[in-house]
A = this chain, B = another copy of it.
Amino acid sequence: MIQCFCGMVHDAGRHGFRGALLATAEASSPPPASAGPVDGALIEDLVAANHILCDQGVVDGFGHVSARHDKNPNRYLLARSMAPALVSTDDIMEFDLDSTPVDQQGRRLYLERFIHGEIYKARPDVQAVVHSHSPAVIPYANTKVQLQPMNHISGFLGGGVPVFEIRDVGGPATNMLITNAMLGRALAATLGTRPVALMRGHGSVAAAHSVRHVVHRAVYTEVNARMQTDAMRLGEPVFLNEGEAAATTNTNDALVERPWNLWKRQLERR
């Protein structure tokens, strides 16, 4: 972890104002309006999530995490194009659900922001989304083996993890990226009502009802994949059944503060 957490108060009012001003000057169709100031605690969690996901080995230079705006469900918050570990409050931008920035300020945007916008459109229950290339998970995206819950902590994987095949909608020679709304919609359709979907030749997405919950799911999807790969060397593992998966998810969703507090503290060791 590289950045300290001081000075993270988010002046979203000023941000929104400046965005509207610049966008009017730069584009023919006006940019979407800002939903206004964001709750400071939400921004703080989103910045911490960027750092934690790197510290826990879920993202490296690539990958991103977003949160739905707390004042308007038709806006979401996502960093400008940069390595997550380096994101600070000032790098967080506001987008509408078509993934158009409220105020681009001449910044470079993540090519794959449509992952976030289209999942927020399709899933009113979702408040936060992670996209990563976490390394233990990708083997499950590229083979026929189903990722399944090895223990109660990963109960949210119960009932199956779908795999998105971009060849089905983008053809045989894409750059693999979700670079437009059509591909984002197709990925969201594969995700359906699940918390996690894998992306063949690419990585995965996780979705949840809060930033802390989505970080929990992204981290433990990776942890579970490592354990499952080890177990499958030994024999056919017994996984959690659907009843167990549902019951554990229920219990664990009330416990996400515990690892979150650890992960935040561990950021200080760097």
Chain A positions near chain B (C-beta within 8 angstroms) = 1-2, 54, 60-62, 81-83, 85-86, 111, 133, 135-136, 138-140, 142-145, 149-153, 155, 172-177, 200-203, 223, 226-227, 229-241, 243-244, 246-248, 250-251, 255, 258-263, 265-266, 268-270
Q: A85-B262, A111-B251, A135-B226 are in contact. List 19 more A-B contacts (CB 8 A).
A: A1-B269, A60-B262, A62-B255, A82-B261, A85-B265, A138-B231, A139-B230, A139-B231, A139-B233, A139-B237, A140-B234, A142-B231, A142-B239, A143-B238, A150-B201, A155-B175, A175-B244, A175-B248, A177-B248
Cβ-neighbour of A172 out of B229, B233, B241 (below 8 A)? B241
A135 CA to B83 CA in the complex, in Å?
A: 26
| B262 adjacent to A86 (CB under 8 Å) | yes
| A247 adjacent to B175 (CB under 8 Å) | yes
A263 CA to B176 CA in the complex, in Å?
A: 24
A15 CA to B53 CA in the complex, in Å?
A: 38
Q: From A144, which residue of chain B is reached at the shortest CB distance?
A: B235
The verdict on A142 contacting B244 (CB below 8 Å), with A61-B258, A175-B251, A258-B62 known, is no
| B244 adjacent to A201 (CB under 8 Å) | yes
| B142 adjacent to A238 (CB under 8 Å) | yes
Q: From A60, which residue of chain B is reached at the shortest CB distance?
A: B259
- Please name all residues of chain B whose beta carbon is closer than 8 Å to the beta carbon of A136 when the two chains form the complex: 230
A247 CA to B170 CA in the complex, in Å?
A: 12
A2 CA to B116 CA in the complex, in Å?
A: 34
Cβ-neighbour of A142 out of B1, B83, B150, B259 (below 8 A)? B150
- Please name all residues of chain B whose beta carbon is closer than 8 Å to the beta carbon of A232 when the two chains form the complex: 233-234
A186 CA to B104 CA in the complex, in Å?
A: 51
| A229 adjacent to B223 (CB under 8 Å) | no
- Please name all residues of chain B whose beta carbon is closer than 8 Å to the beta carbon of A247 when the two chains form the complex: 173-176
Interface centre among A2, A61, A136, A261 (most CB of B within 10 A): A61
| B230 adjacent to A151 (CB under 8 Å) | no
A183 CA to B209 CA in the complex, in Å?
A: 32
The verdict on A239 contacting B201 (CB below 8 Å), with A2-B269, A251-B175 known, is yes
The verdict on A82 contacting B258 (CB below 8 Å), with A229-B230, A237-B142, A269-B270 known, is yes
Interface centre among A133, A174, A175 (most CB of B within 10 A): A175
| A177 adjacent to B62 (CB under 8 Å) | no
